[in-house]
Amino acid sequence: MKNTITSKSIIALAITFFTFNSFAQNFYAKLNGGYSWATATMSTNSSSQVGTVVNYEKVSFSLGKGINVGGDVGYMFNKNIGAELGINYLLGANTEYGYKSSSSSDAYTYSATVLGFIPAIVITPGLENFNPYAKFGLSISSATLTVKDENISTSGSITNTSNITNVYSGGVALGLVSSLGASYKITQNISIFGEMCILTMKYSPTKGELTESKLNGVDNLSTKSTRDKNSEFSDSYSIDNSAPTDNNAPRKSSAPNFPFSSVGVNVGIIIGF
């Protein structure tokens, strides 16, 4: 009787182990890095003045360009269909434009960082070694946009330099992600992969903050009012022009939209379990 119970326990444990092992083998993790280039853009102008002639040059940019690093955890429901949950960090490249004349210059530098979570569906033919795939998902992201402005003006023998930095944040950016790629198996549990990824996304911050204000290298941020240092963005707002300006409250303004759309290339490693 005792031997029968022991045998049944061993069989039950074996079934549990093999069931769990089979289930776990469908899980995998990915680590990747790459670079993204801008697609959809917004436009502004750079200009320079010589005498009475002002030359203008169109500058188009998207804040989605830059270095990407990230990772995913995935599960294959069968050899053809799976799901992934990814996290991605974008360290955006700088975009510069401005104005220049014989007596003054104004230079702007835009840069951004984005932390995104990407749930996605994976479709693949399920080949053994070289396995192509397509991935479709939603990007749910938090972004921070930094705008630096350096203004240099000369009057006679006096030159003044001001440096201002504004940081825009808040809100959630939603976008669509699609990828085409392929993996190549190195060992039973390790593969390498490469993919091309297309992101369609725009970002609308909800607040802005003046984080730096200097005149000729001397910090004067503490002299600024709350209205000068803070902004609140929304799709609609009201201002009572008959009421005095409240310098102790943030400035209200329409919400701007910034493009983050891009096309990128990622490479990395897949670890199966």
- 160-196 pLDDT, tens digit per residue, is 999 999 999 999 999 999 999 999 999 999 999 999 9
pLDDT over threshold 50, residue 135: yes
Q: Does the residue 2 lie in any domain?
A: no
Q: Which residues of 62-81 are buried (b: 16+ CB within 10 A; e: fewer)?
A: bbbbbebebbbebebeeeee
pLDDT over threshold 50, residue 14: no
Q: Does the residue 9 lie in any domain?
A: no
- Neighbouring C-beta atoms of residue 170, cutoff 10 Å: 16
Q: Does the residue 217 lie in any domain?
A: yes
Rg of the chain taking only CA atoms, in angstroms: 27
Q: Does the residue 256 lie in any domain?
A: yes
Query: Which is more confident, 121 or 13?
Result: 121
Which of 35, 90, 82 lies closest to 183 in space, CA to CA? Answer: 82
Q: Does the residue 38 lie in any domain?
A: yes
Question: What is the residue range of 89's domain?
Answer: 25-272
Measured in degrees and rounded to the nearest 5, phi and psi for residue 156 equal 65, -120
Domain count for the chain, please give it.
1
What does pLDDT average to over the chain?
Answer: 87
Q: Which residues contact 23 (CB under 8 A, 6 or more apart)?
A: none
Token pair belonging to 10: 């061993």
Which of 180, 195, 194, 200 lies closest to 259 in space, CA to CA? Answer: 200
Q: Does the residue 31 lie in any domain?
A: yes
Could you report the per-residue pLDDT of 224-237, keeping only the tens digit for each? 999 999 999 998 88
pLDDT band at 242, cuts 50/70/90?
Answer: confident
Could you report the per-residue pLDDT of 29-85, keeping only the tens digit for each? 999 999 999 887 776 767 777 777 878 777 777 788 999 999 999 999 999 999 999
Could you report the per-residue pLDDT of 15-31, keeping only the tens digit for each? 443 433 444 468 999 99
CATH number at residue 46: 2.40.160.20
Q: Does the residue 114 lie in any domain?
A: yes
The distance of Cα 229 from the centroid of its chain, to the nearest Å, equals 25
Q: Does the residue 223 lie in any domain?
A: yes
HSE at residue 38, side-chain half, CA atoms within 13 A, is 21
